[in-house]
Chain A
């Protein structure tokens, strides 16, 4: 089976998320699982063409999320995925697909940031709020990733976007919340800052506040959405979880170095 021309891959992507961003980024997780599956004779095509099933599918997703050049984005992401899959096949422990996903996400930002940074190209305030909310939630999601990834590598970093898209009213409310948090016009630079936070937490040993210190009214949210790494399903929980996320303290001293202090 040529994975990049398989209807199976398209079906897997289609059901993996409710948002185009989610479906694009899940490509890397699905490929990773597929390559790691036991007793599978992996065949990867030598080329990616602009006419294969995957590139066409990605192009539709890129169009749906108003990328500046959907076809270019689709081709580029298909090529990144193809190269990373080839490298993974020959070097299984190289984390190529994980880094490819990060690169693809940056590419999505590069192709979409201009549209919400320049309101003239958007037809309604509702759309602006929706996109701003999406980026805000992506940022929060990235900040959550360290614990989030522990629970399931299959979960998509844009699950929050799914929640937003399912409920338009929530989308508008979240935009208002983002505005209050001075995050309405989240730029690529700010998204990069979120990346930085995620990377930092991933590289450290993090200590969470003890649950006994948390007021009863927030305890469930704290345990489920901060410690458990599960994304909140509504705006109120999102705000609460963010407060406690800020209180997580991480130590970045390498273990060996910390233990060797005489």
Chain B
């Protein structure tokens, strides 16, 4: 049985993804979670802290899912980079896809001074670093450069899919990723 804290977190996560963060009021969250404002603030102290907790959980869940699937698919580092985009395509094209938390949050909180924006940027960097680590394990010479190229491709494709579901952007991003990965492998 999930705790009340988790229930609030999951409810807020669903509402943020489907309605937007700024458009979702605390009243809506407590009503949907079947709790009170007092309980919500007991666990999260403010809406901003709730947003940060939702972002952290969402990113952690995504990274764990991706990592588990990658490790279950292959042990060869050189194959993991390309397979990474297979899983991302699977995720983006699934009916439950509602966008990427840190990408949406970054757009809703554009000010660099904002804590939500700062966490979004940090998660974007963490994802890039994750790709860079895979590239390093695959003996890619310019692992950071390739990671930057692939993360820009990936984030752009996710945003395009957020704007228009089924756009096919992720399909072309996957082909482009293969071109970039093959090129980087040959250069190494």
Is B184 positioned at the interface, with any CB of A under 8 Å from its CB? yes
- Chain B 158-188, CB-CB to A under 8 Å as 1, else 0, gives 0110011001110011011111101111110
Distance of B114 from chain A, by nearest CB (Å):
12
A217 within 8 A of B: no
Q: Report how many residues on chain A are interfacial, defined by Cβ distance under 8 Å.
A: 41
* A195 & B183 in contact (Cβ 8 Å cutoff): yes
**Do A196 and B186 have beta carbons less than 8 Å apart?**
yes
By the criterion CB–CB under 8 Å, are B163 and A107 in contact?
no
Alpha-carbon separation in the docked complex, A170 to B169 (Å): 35
User: Is A171 in contact with chain B by the CB < 8 A criterion?
Assistant: no
Judge whether A260 is part of the interface by a CB distance below 8 angstroms: no
Contact B186 A110 (CB under 8 A): no
1/0 contact trace for A190-213 toward B, CB 8 Å? Answer: 011101110110010000000000
Judge whether A83 and B186 touch: CB under 8 Å. no
Q: Compute the total of residue contacts between A and B using a CB distance below 8 Å.
A: 117
Q: Count the B residues whose beta carbon is within 8 Å of the partner chain — how many?
A: 36
Write out, one digit per residue, whether chain B residues 105-144 have a CB within 8 A of any chain A CB (1) or not (0): 0010010100000000100000000000000000001100
Interface code A63-97, partner B: CB below 8 Å = 1, 0 otherwise?
A: 00000110011011101100110000010001110
A106 at the interface (CB under 8 A from B): yes
Tell me the complex Cα distance, A195–B153, Å.
17
A96 CB contacts on chain B under 8 angstroms? 148, 152
A50: interface (CB < 8 Å): yes
Q: Is the CB of A188 within 8 A of B179?
A: yes
* A76 and B112 contacting across the interface, CB-CB below 8 Å: no
Please tell me if A103 contacts chain B, counting CB pairs below 8 Å: yes
Kindly state whether residue A99 has any CB partner on chain B within 8 Å. yes
The complex places the Cα of A193 from the Cα of B178 at a distance, in Å, of 12
Q: Least Cβ distance of B74 to chain A in Å?
A: 21
Q: How far is the CA of A120 from the CA of B3 in the complex (A)?
A: 60
Is residue B145 within 8 Å, beta carbon to beta carbon, of the partner chain? Answer: yes
Given known pairs A80-B156, A195-B187, the reply for A73 and B110 (CB within 8 Å) is no
Q: In the complex, which residue of chain A has the Cβ closest to the Cβ of B111?
A: A46
Q: Which residues of B lie under 8 Å from residue A68 when comparing CB positions?
A: 172
- Judge if B155 is at the interface, Cβ distance under 8 Å: yes
Shortest Cβ distance from A98 into chain B, in angstroms?
9
B92 at the interface (CB under 8 A from A): no
Q: How far is the CA of A113 from the CA of B176 in the complex (A)?
A: 11
B29 within 8 A of A: no
**B:47-74 near A, CB below 8 Å:** none
Instruction: Decide: B148 and A95 in contact? CB cutoff 8 A.
Output: yes
Interface residues of A (CB under 8 A from B): 46-50, 68-69, 72-73, 75-77, 79-80, 83-84, 90, 94-96, 99-100, 102-103, 106-107, 109-111, 113, 188-189, 191-193, 195-197, 199-200, 203
17 A-B pairs, CB-CB below 8 angstroms?
Answer: A46-B110, A49-B163, A69-B172, A72-B172, A77-B156, A79-B155, A84-B152, A100-B152, A106-B180, A107-B153, A107-B173, A109-B176, A110-B172, A192-B179, A195-B184, A196-B184, A199-B141
